[in-house]
Amino acid sequence: MKQSQYKSYDDLPLFLNAELVAKLLGVSPSSGYELMHEPGFPVLKVGSRMVVPKKKFVQWVEEHTAGGDGT
């Protein structure tokens, strides 16, 4: 199994693309792309490109993790 180069949220870039979102969540790239089209997922559209601000991604993960406020 390939080790992630990211050891903490602090190591992530400021903006995440669909491929990186999928990698971090351990899902397929197509699932990452689909997730970015879900209502409520924190996406920033820049022209035709979609990115996720790191802070909003971390917040989303925490809200959707068992035991968090979003469960």
Helix (H), strand (E), coil (C) string for 26-68: CCCHHHHHHHCCCCCCCCEEECCEEEEEHHHHHHHHHHCCCCC
List, for residues 49-67, the tens digit of each pLDDT value: 999 999 999 999 999 987 6
In this prediction, residue 2 carries a pLDDT of 56
Q: Which CATH architecture has domain 12-63?
A: Orthogonal Bundle (1.10)
Domains in the chain: boundaries: 12-63
Is a pLDDT exceeding 80 seen at residue 19? yes
**Which tokens is 11 given?**
């190591």
Q: pTM of whole model > 0.85?
A: no
* Residue 40 exposure: Cα atoms within 13 Å on the Cβ side: 6
Taking the chain, what is the end-to-end CA distance rounded to the nearest angstrom?
30
